[in-house]
Structure 1
């Protein structure tokens, strides 16, 4: 991972992963460790829309939410210099993917917070605040993860397994990787 991020006006690190992987909490703790600001695109969307994400889905529909999300992601990548947490589905948008790929191409760090269904269930509780998990939440989460995993893995420069770890442990692991990047492998 790059210790400085991609450029003068880009995030130090971007966290991606499914609902319940701990992106928001880990981002807050990591920002504290790095001494930088935190930005969460879900919060940006709620501020822009003036309502909770669940309400946006109900009142305006998923396509409207995804358009707000795309704008939040591309804006944050362009102007935020701290830790950036993206919503779970943000990586599915092709324009957001392109922006993230450009960011990593320029040396930016995107960390995929991976979690299994066994460990996510107690964290999420599969509550009503997660509109894409309504109905059979476990099956829907597993289906979302099956569709999203290849994108998370392709976009990420680093993967952290969050199973059986606290957000503080995950934040420290990412911090150590940022401060002491892994040396390149010896080609011999």
Structure 2
């Protein structure tokens, strides 16, 4: 069992929103590995970062991604940093991975785009630009397709992703 689509991209890029729309169009379940971690630990991502540190969060994230990739047949959204782990990138290789390609200014302008995201505390714009530069090669490495979100709403991004994976039109 493998997901029909796996979404990667920057924090706040819209992966969860787009993923829910894709799952709805396909009539399948949606899963978010950050939500899996929160449910499994009883702590928010921000709490995990502040109490246990980023290293522990990444260990939990790696396990959550492995579990979801092996046991979810719908649409899956990964946390923005999941692709930094080389083992995770190997698991994603050749899969139906979509990079939701949002620009930094676009993420900053979204309602809730950076709120509650521990890696974006402080100067969110500078930090997001830094993350984008660090992670862009990893997103390109794992993605079968990249769907720019600039000038599109979430429904348009979802449809473009489905088309790119030859899953649209939905039958």
- Please give the TM-score of this superposition, normalised by the length of structure 2: 0.94
- For residues 68-127 of structure 1, the C-alpha deviation after alignment (integer angstroms, 9 at most, x for no partner) is 0000001111111000000000000111111111xx1xxx31000111122111114532
Of 114, 128, 134, 1:126 maps to 114
> CA–CA distance in 2 between the matches of 1:66 and 1:125?
21
> CA–CA distance in 2 between the matches of 1:141 and 1:177?
27
What is the aligned partner in structure 2 of residue 154 from structure 1? 141
What is the aligned partner in structure 1 of residue 68 from structure 2? 76
What is the aligned partner in structure 2 of residue 31 from structure 1? 23
| Deviation larger for 145-154 or 91-100 | 91-100
What is the aligned partner in structure 2 of residue 96 from structure 1? 88
Kept in 1, the 8 Å contact 2:11–2:114? The answer is: no
Kept in 2, the 8 Å contact 1:33–1:175? The answer is: no
Q: Could you tell me how far 1:175 is from its partner in structure 2?
A: 1.8
Please give the secondary structure, in 2, of the residue aligned with 1:51. Answer: coil
Q: 1:180 to 1:130 in 2, by over 3 A?
A: closer
Q: Could you tell me how far 1:142 is from its partner in structure 2?
A: 0.2
Structure 1 segments unaligned to the other structure (5+ residues):
1-8, 182-188
- Asked whether 1:176 is paired with 2:155, we answer no
- Whose radius of gyration is greater, 1 or 2? 1
How many residue pairs match? The answer is 167
Q: 4+ residue runs of structure 1 moved beyond 6 angstroms?
A: none
Q: Could you tell me how far 1:176 is from its partner in structure 2?
A: 2.2
- For residues 114-162 of structure 1, the C-alpha deviation after alignment (integer angstroms, 9 at most, x for no partner) is 11122111114532x1000111110000000000000000110000000
Please give the secondary structure, in 1, of the residue aligned with 2:165. Answer: helix
